[in-house]
Structure 1
Amino acid sequence: MRSFHYSIVLAILMLVMAFSSDPYEPEFAVCTSIANYPLLKTAGYSYVESNVSYLMPDKADDEFQKNLDEIKEYDAKIISCTSFIPGSLPLVGPETKQDEALEWAETALRRAGMLNIPYIVFGSGKARHVPENFSKEEATQQFIDFCKQVAPLAGKYNVTVVIEPLNRVETNLINSLEEGARIVEAVNHPNLQLLCDIYHMMRENEPAMEIVKYAKCIRHCHIAEREERTSPGTKGDDFRPYFRALKEIGYKGCVSIECRWNDLPHEIYPALSYMQEQFRSL
């Protein structure tokens, strides 16, 4: 009888484990306009990812109110804003505009904090592009110095700035997770961390296991297909090595599609299904 009871208990435990162990899968978002959020939500995405320009850092608060109203209208959940510093405000080189860039940054961070936006993506390839015949070492230090001023501001407004390594076509400073992690370590502040962009990693032939190597810094993720920056599933790229790396580090954040859409309303459904299928196959 005792053996029978034990078998029943064991069977129940196995059933509970089977139903409670959901396949590994992060949340998903799309980089697009706030107005598209209802469409994304219907398709199964958790968030929309906007652009820092939507926070209108160069405008007064009363002008920004219209965007606040739009967010309320669509009840939009915003995971992040991209393109932190515009190219018109160079951060490195012989003639920087770091003071102006810092003012821009603080307004953007303050408004992101108001909206409970957790991340600001620091791509900004033009702003950090090292001019010809200028020391890359000096430019790197200039960038670090700027980040050391930005990080405490981000902390003040409860936002995390994530540095986005870009491929060499877009900029010549910070082209890998390794280079991005060096900046994060040099700044040494909890509100300055790292983004892994699978598109840029593939363009740079950066191994997926670099995600595991720099796991402690990674807070956010972008994705698109390698050749033409199309949405996942358009060309059939195999993202599983990168997804496997995310699974290995226990990444529970968001994967945002940042791509060139040809027909967003029709592409977002198969793109999500394609990513989910590859994650669930791990």
Structure 2
Amino acid sequence: MTEFGVIVGTDGVDAAWSAGADYVEPTIVGNLVVPSQDGGWMRSPHYDGAPSPSFAILFPGELQLADPSFPTERIDAYLESAMAIVGSAAQPGAKIVFGSGRARTLPDGVDEAQGRALLARVLTRARDVAARHDLRVLLEPLHRGETNMINSITEAVAFLDEFSIADVQVVADLFHIMTEAEPLDVVRDEGARIGHAHIADSGRIPPGQGDWPLAAFLTALREGGYTGPVSVECHFADFEPELTAALAHLRALDAAA
């Protein structure tokens, strides 16, 4: 049976366990990793919890990853600090989702090829720094409302191949798939490249409250060979009861698949 977790900040962890989540996927920026007084980064003194198997939101928006005028040493320094901090809160082999749409957006006036090369450098660097802490970085396609670079699973796979970036898999996120009108067949066809999954219902409401093809998405993941966990990532009006219902709905769909 599939494990279902939820993306959440520290303030929601206890409620997530009470709702029956199999795991929590903490956010990194502003939750686990926060600015330090010396201008660097530190582990939040408010962060608490058992070691997690996956984490979301890697980069703060002020780090402009595809901007040639932005100092690469600031990006590298952040990665060194952040990966060490995440490693201190992670299970062995934990996954880090590289979404971070604002940080990776190509600025106006920057050559696209140059921006893509810079982003490839950052992704490669993130992969290598993460590996030193027994962590794995995954690339998440984001819809065009969040970024202008890498908006679909197809584009993510092509990007990794273009720059020969090995040992990085792709996140299948139903919200971005549906928003970009990418066919679910891609999830099955690129199953060998999928390393993690996020799920939400229509408009990013909790699973079971909308009309998106949740069962078809779970089936496509399974038919493609993905047998890992699936994280709920959505907007809650009343977190614990809505998560309880969402998890029950997803488990029923999973059992019937």
TM-score for the superposition, normalised by structure 2:
0.89
Aligned residue for 2:169, secondary structure, equals strand
Residue 253 (structure 1) shift:
1.5
Contact 1:224 1:257 in 2 (8 A): yes
Q: How many residues align?
A: 251
Distance in structure 2 (CA, Å) of the matches to 1:101 and 1:193: 21
Q: For 1:245, which of 200, 220, 243 is the aligned residue?
A: 220
- Aligned match for 1:188, one of 162, 165, 185: 165
Q: Tell me by how many angstroms 1:77 deviates.
A: 4.5
Q: CA RMSD in A?
A: 2.1
User: 1:193, 1:105 → 2: CA distance?
Assistant: 19
- Does structure 2 retain, via aligned residues, the 8 Å contact 1:163–1:193? yes
Q: Is the 8 A contact 1:46 1:77 kept in 2?
A: no
What one-letter code is carried by the residue in structure 2 that aligns with 1:100?
R
Offset from partner CA, 1:47-106 (integer Å, 9 cap, x none): 1111112232533899637345x22xxxx3523222211110101134223321221122
Matches within 5 A, 1:191-202: 192-202=168-178
Say which SS state the counterpart of residue 46 (structure 1) adopts.
coil
User: Retained in 2: the 8 A contact 1:147–1:187?
Assistant: no
1:58 equivalent in structure 2: 35
* Structure 1 residue 184, shift from structure 2 partner: 2.8
Gapped runs of 5+ residues in structure 1? 1-24
After TM superposition, list the pairs within 5 Å mapping 1:1-282 onto structure 2: 25-53=1-29, 54-56=31-33, 58-59=35-36, 64=43, 66-67=45-46, 70-71=48-49, 76-117=50-91, 118-185=94-161, 186-190=163-167, 192-226=168-202, 228-282=203-257
Which AA in structure 2 matches 1:86?
P
Cα 1:203/1:58, change in 2 over 3 Å = same
Which letter maps to 1:189? Answer: A
User: What TM-score comes out, normalization by structure 1 length?
Assistant: 0.82
In 2, are the aligned partners of 1:180 and 1:194 still within 8 Å (CA)? yes
Q: Secondary structure at the match of 1:262?
A: coil
Give yes or no for contact 1:197–1:222 (8 Å, CA) kept in 2.
yes
Q: Is the 8 A contact 2:15 2:239 kept in 1?
A: no
Which SS does the other structure have where 2:53 is aligned? strand
SS of the aligned residue for 1:137 comes to helix
Which structure has more strand as a fraction of its residues?
A: 2
Q: Deviations over 1:145-176 (max 9, x none)?
A: 12222211111111111111000111110001
Task: Report the structure number with the largest CA radius of gyration.
Answer: 1
Which moves more between the two structures, 93-102 or 125-134? 93-102
Partners of 1:52 and 1:207 in 2: CA distance: 30
- The one-letter code matched in structure 2 to 1:52 is I
Q: Percent of aligned pairs with the same residue?
A: 28
The CA distance in 1 between the partners of 2:253 and 2:84, in whole Å, is 37
Q: Which runs of 5+ in 2 are unaligned?
A: none
Measured after TM superposition, the shift of residue 112 of structure 1 is: 1.8
3-state DSSP of counterpart to 1:221: strand
Letter in 2 for 1:235: G
Check the 8 A contact 2:173/2:199 in 1, yes or no: yes
